[in-house]
Structure 1
Amino acid sequence: MSFCSYYDTQQCHSCSWIDYHYAEQLKLKGEHLHTLLNPYKPEDWLKPATSPLKGFRNKAKMVATPTLEGIVLGLSEEVSLIECPLYDISMQKTLNTIQEWLRELGIKGYDVRLRKGELKYVLLTKSKSNGSMMLRFVLKSHGIIGRLENGVDDLIKRAPDLKVITVNIQPVHMAILEGDEEIFLTEQRRLEERFNGIPLYIRPKSFFQTNPEVAEKLYRTASEWADESKPKILWDLFCGVGGFGLHCATGDRSIVGIEIEPEAIECARDSATQLELKNVRFESLDAASFGASSGEKPDVIIVNPPRRGLGEQLCKWLIRVNADRILYSSCNATSLAKDLESLSGYSVRRVQLFDMFPHTTHYEVLVELVLV
């Protein structure tokens, strides 16, 4: 028996390794990573950065399923997951309050088969540093916004940790999590988080790591590795809300962060302003577009691409830039290994696994590449 009743009763299979001893999970992930990266002969394999086993997730993504008893938040198979042990008690209680509130309002979940109902998803994010939460309702249309808006004050009274509440419109009948339109039902529009004393901001569409404790270790490690050669110019590509770049900022170091999502860039700029950083610039651009236009040569480049990796074209551009070092943070070691094959001219100095996703086969890895 595991510590999760959903898994033990076969209601949820998301944490496929939850009944493995944690040491075994780390061993299997390490073996997988070694198999992929051993051909590149890393000089140093560092000890994995571990995670808490429960209550470590800061974000819940709930399907809003219609049932005879009312709306259920969880999986599409009418299984409630509001007591998932990956969320801490405060998130579990808030999810329970939201579910009860939605039922009282008579809100109908979206029936995929019949294409009826309004509410598709409920997304809840928590700031580890201050406990505040952001709630997003993903709707098919604008039809029930008034009902939600009229009940918001009552919901906040019941769940006072809710500080940001929004509605996202996703009208397409496809498994797409969110649409382009975001409507705020509260005056506050962002959450503040702090990693290693650095203020970071979370807005509805900005990517943010889901395991704060391990993310803190990842950012701190990248900063320490970057600082070793005292770079004057550092680029942070796929920078999100600026976590890597802000951790590497110093008074005389030039930092450029590039991210395609404008909301994430707005968050990064807010952090830089609060820290009174003068030599830090964040731009909403595609990394490939920036790569084609930039003229300066960085000493260090940090890349944190999506699961698909960098791709051959961006790897070729990085080779032309010819930075002394590249720090590559990856959530998909398979695409990382493929990119390493394309990054000829660099050797792998060190590798560290960061267990961002316990009880699953997934993990994050940080690799330092050095110009040969």
Structure 2
Amino acid sequence: MRDMDILTVTHPVGQYNVYVGEGLLGRLRELAGVDGRIALITDSNVGPLYAQAIPDAACVITMPAGEQNKTLATVNGMYEQLLAAGMDRGGVVVALGGGVVGDVAGFVAATYMRGINFAQCPTSLLAMVDASVGGKTGVDLPQGKNLVGAFKQPTAVIADIATLQTLPSEELSAGMAEVIKHGLIGDVDLFKRLEIGDSLASFQSLVTRAIRVKQLVVQEDPFEHGRRAALNLGHTFGHAIEQVSQYRIRHGEAVAMGLVAAANLSARLGYCSPDLQGRIEAALEYANLPVRIPADLPPQAQYRAMFSDKKKAAGKLRFILLRDVGDVFVADDVPETAVLETLAAVRNTP
């Protein structure tokens, strides 16, 4: 078995380690330096599989699985369970699950008793390479995704890649969208390998390589005032697709479609070669991800949904666009006509 990889993420008030390897869940207290009582937050899919790996939790809170449950009502129920269990500020919230669990548990940890310690144990590829690193937490409102949230840095991230063995294939593919995104943002060699169907020798290598891209970005810009916005590549389109589909489309699948749309829009505006869209589509198709937006999602409805996106500034939509692999930038002066033309161009024909 390969030794675990350790990446250290620094932030304005400290640092934490990201551990990537097999068989790590049982070492939670050791790796995360946890001394106090543990409140384990998981969901109805992951809990039955892995909650027993953390046997000394003072309480186990299980939320229904799915983005539709990432709400303030869910959070309120968790506060009540934490109080009933007698959790105080000396305890630690541990998130065991995918990106939804991590976002919700992190927000609970950031706000319960004005903040208690928090550790991430991501069990999906998407959560390992993206959602668990960087300190973003939050919940959705009916008007859009992640509109209520806080920055809450974990004390540790423990990515036990053994949990990927039970991940459904479609969820594994969804996570690959974020890996491909990270290659496009900051690892040219990784992207070149993915576009020819080479997903590296092991999941551990893949996860560590993708996390390293995010590590460097969030250290440079921990509160998303500049460079960190690049991590939203594909997400202005993706979040709108999710919202208009009423979340029947997985986040990773929506991001995949969003990456294609971002490349199309970038070429349409003259920023990159039209060939880049085809290269991105090749990488996505190798990962069994969609490259066209479903025909039943009207472009106008998607465009309207973008205006509830928290990434807009001064009332203007902000798009992350590409000049080339490894060269992304923020644009906030994109004409509505160009966006609608792109949405039509990358839509499945009815």
The two structures have a TM-score, normalised by structure 1, of 0.27
User: Which protein has the larger Cα radius of gyration, Structure 1 or Structure 2?
Assistant: 1
Q: TM-score, normalised by structure 2?
A: 0.28
User: Greater strand share, 1 or 2?
Assistant: 1
Write 1 or 2 for the structure with the bigger share of helix: 2
